[in-house]
Amino acid sequence: MSEQHIAIYPGSFDPITLGHLNIIKRASHIFDRLIVCIMVNSEKHGLFPPEERAELVRRATERFPNVEVDCSHELLSEYARRKGAHVVVKGLRAMSDFEKEFQMAHINRRLNPDLDTMFLTSSEKYTFLSSSVVKELGSYGADLSEFVPREIIGDIERKIRERQAGLGRA
């Protein structure tokens, strides 16, 4: 029996966007198993806590049978080693993404020589899209249906309303 090709698509996914989902769909066709991993940065406090982000990603990706969702507090290179993954998938929107991701790819490879990084360029219609843009648009009550999976729009709108109420903004 041949070895399974496992890849990890790491990120904050706060929240997952249609751009992320496009990369997940494409990578899921390339690898036997794709682990979408919410990487937890203790210094960042996102809109959603990591476990809630994982649940949103699970709902958005449930139609992909070879995609699983996880959270990790450890270094990506160590997480990949533990999971038996040899490839990290990263989506690129612009050259500015490439510089940072190129540097991280080299660091990860230095820490885990068996780990390669595969860059997938964003589909043209998502080059402008980021989780930050979604949160900004959502804070003004914009229609999010062209930016995030429909399964999670209500969750995002609710969380933004809760945050605004907590800050005294209605």
Which residues, at least 6 apart from 122, have a Cβ–Cβ distance to it below 8 Å?
19, 22, 23, 91, 92, 93, 129
20 is catalytic: yes
- Which one is catalytic: 12, 20, 53, 72? 20
Instruction: Copy the structure tokens of residue 113.
Output: 């020589």
Catalytic residue among 29, 44, 45, 63: 44
Which of 28, 77, 131, 159 is catalytic? The answer is 131
131 is catalytic: yes
Task: Kindly report the number of other CB atoms within 10 A of residue 160's CB atom.
Answer: 21
Is residue 44 part of the annotated active site? The answer reads: yes
Instruction: Give the torsion sign (CA, 11, 50, 123, 7).
Output: positive
Cα 134 from Cα 132, distance rounded (Å): 5
How large is the greatest C-alpha to C-alpha distance in the chain, in angstroms? 59
- Which residues are annotated as catalytic? 20, 44, 93, 131
